[in-house]
Chains A and B, each alone.
Chain A
Amino acid sequence: MRSAEQHGQAAAPFSYADDFSPALLDPEQAPPAVVCGPNGKAAKKRYNVYRNNVTVSLTDALAAVFPATQRITGRDFFRAMARFHVRSTPPTSPLLFEYGRDFPDFIERYEYAQQMPWLADVARIERAWLDAYHAADAEPLKAETLAGVAPERLADVVLTPHPSTRILRSRFPAVSIFAANRGDGPVGPIEATGPEDALVTRPHLEVIVRRLPPGGAIFLTHLVGGEPLGEAVAAALEENPQFDLPANIAGMIAAGAFTAIGGDGNDGR
C-alpha cells in the first residue's frame, strides 16, 4: 500500500491507454513508444492510421450534424474549422448524435468566421434539428383539446411541451439562411435581412423548422417554461404590440409544439 513503486508496477499492465491516447488528437506529439511494427518495423505511419481515423471520423460527425453550415462555408473551410474543434473539444459521450453542442459557440469565436456573424445561429438551428430528430416520440396536442377549454379558464392553461420542441432566437435571418442551405437544391437569393426566431419540432417523423411570427418566441418560451397562457400572452404583447394570438396558437398547434394541457412532465426547457 505505501510503496509508490509497488503501486506503479501494479498499474503498469493498464497504462497502455494512457500511453496510446494523448497523441491521437495532437499531431505535434510523437507516436507512443509502447507500440511498434512487426520485426522491428517503425510505427509512425501505422500509428497515424489511428490518428487519422479519430480526427477524420469526428470531423465527419460534425459535418453530418451541420450540413447547412458546411454548405455555407464550403467543405475545406468547414473541415479546417471542425478539426480545430475536434482537437480542442473531443466528444465525451459515445453517442455521436450528442456531439457538437459546443460547436456553435466555437464558431462564434472562430477567427476566420467573423465575416459570417449569422453562421453560429444557423449551426444552433442544426443542432436543435438533430435533438428534435432523436427526441422521444409523443402525440401532439390537438386543436380540439384546446378549443374545449372554457373561455374563462383559458388564461390559466398550462401546456406540456413536446419532447422535440426547441426555440431559437437570432439577431440575423438565420432561419431563412438555414432553409436555403439545408437541402441539395440551388440556393436562391436570400431577401431577409432582419432578425428571425425559429421553432423546431418533430410532431411525427419529420422535423419541422418554422420562422416564428413577431412575439412568437417570447410567447412560446414562456409556455415551454411552464407559465400559464395569460402570462405568455402578456409577455409577448409587451415585447411586440402586434402579437397575433390566434395566428400564434394556430402555428404552435400545426407545429406540434405541445402534447397536452397541464404542466405534468414539464421539464422546464
Chain B
Amino acid sequence: MNDLTAHPDRRASEASRFPAHAAEGLAGTSFKHEHLPAILAAGRQHCFFEVHAENYMGAGGPPHDALTRIRRDYPVSLHGVCMSIGGPQPLDKAHLGRFKSLIERYEPALVSEHLAWSTHETTFYNDLLPLPYTPATLTRVADHVSEVQEAIGRPILMENPSTYVLFAESTMSETAFLRELVRRTGCGLLLDINNVFVSATNHGYSALDYLADFPLEHVGEIHLAGHAEQSDDEGERLLIDSHDGPVANAVWKLFDRVIGQTGPIPTLVEWDSAIPEWPVLKAEAEAAQAILDRHAGGTRRGKVHAVG
C-alpha cells in the first residue's frame, strides 16, 4: 500500500511530528503538571518523562498543552494504567481506541501497561487488581496483549505487579507467566523493581531468586518507587506499593545488580502521591542515572526488543 499504513488515522494536514527523542540509557521521572514551570525553567535536561495515558484522554485543554511542551524536548513514556489487560472480560474497545490515538498523537519512545485488571463488568475500581496465574488466564492475557499491539501497531512493555494476596488456583510462577507471555505475543517487559521487592516481602520469597528467574533480556524499561510498610494478619511486614516517598535502599541495591547484569535500561522513578518539589524528584532520577552511567559500556545486553 503506502507509508500511511502504519498510521492509518494520521491526516496529511496534521502538524509536523515531534523529534524522535530516544530514551536509551536515560533515567526519568513521572511527569507532574505542578513541576512544569520548574522543568521549563531548568532548561533542557538529560532525562525522560513518563505520563499515565488516562490523564491525557480528554479532548483538549491544559493537559495536552503541557504534554506537548514536554514531548517537544524530551522522550516520553506512555504508561497505561486502566486497560484491564489482566481481566477476564473483553478489552474496552473505546478505551483501546483512545490509547491508540494518544500514541499516534505523541509518538512516545516507550509504551507500557500492567499485568493486572481494574474494571469488572461495568465498575472501574481504580486499582491494579491481581489475577491467578494459570494456563487459561495466560491465554486470555496473551490474547489481550496481542489485541493491544495489533491496534497500536507496535509492541508494548508489560509490568510485573505488586501483590498482597495469592490465588490458591495459581499453577504458574509470575516469572514463568511473564516469560511465556513474551514468547506468545512478542511483547517486552517493564521490570518494576520496587514491585519485585514488595511482592517478595509480602509472599516470603527472595527478590534475588525472582530476578534470577526473570527474563531480563526482554526488559525495555525499569520502574523504581517508594513503598510504605504495614503488617499482615500474623503481625508480619506487609509492604504497600505507595509511590509516596523516596526509593528504598534495598530497591537501589537490586537495581544496581540488575543493571550490572544487563547494562543501561531506561529507568523511571515514580512518585504519584505526596509529590515533592521538582528538585527532590529530579535528585532520585539523578541517582538512577549515576548507576546507569557506571554500568554503561560494561555488559552488553542482548537486545531483543526495539523499544524506540
Contact = CB atoms under 8 A, between A and B. Distances in A.
**Do the two chains belong together in a single complex?**
yes
B134 A13 contact: yes
B125 A24 contact: yes
Contacts of A34: 132, 167-169
A45 B232 contact: yes
A17 B168 contact: no
A35 B230 contact: no
B136 interface: yes
Contacts of A49: 164, 230, 238, 240
A58 B126 contact: yes
B273 to A, nearest CB: 9
B125 A16 contact: no
**Interface size bracket, A side:** 35 or more
Interface string B126-145: 11011110101100100000
Contacts of A92: 122-124
A42 B202 CA distance: 12
A93 B60 contact: no
B127 A57 contact: yes
A17 B117 contact: yes
Nearest to A132: B61
Contacts of B169: 13, 16, 34
Contact of B60 (A21, A50, A135): A135
B62 interface: yes
A189 interface: no
Contact of A14 (B55, B63, B88, B123): B88
Interface stretch (A94-102, A234-242, A248-256): A94-102
B280 interface: no
A205 B230 contact: no
A120 B96 CA distance: 34
Given A42-B233, A136-B59, A94 B54 contact: yes
Contacts of A137: 59-61, 64
Contacts of A106: none
Contacts of A50: 127, 129, 164-165
A46 B59 CA distance: 38
Interface in B59-92: 59-65, 82-84, 87-89, 92
A163 B60 contact: yes
Interface string B243-285: 0000000000000000000000000000000000000000000
Nearest to A20: B129
B234 interface: yes
B57 interface: yes
A262 interface: no
Contacts of B65: 205
Given A91-B124, A94-B119, 11 more contacts: A13-B169, A14-B137, A20-B120, A20-B130, A41-B232, A41-B234, A43-B165, A47-B165, A50-B129, A91-B123, A202-B61
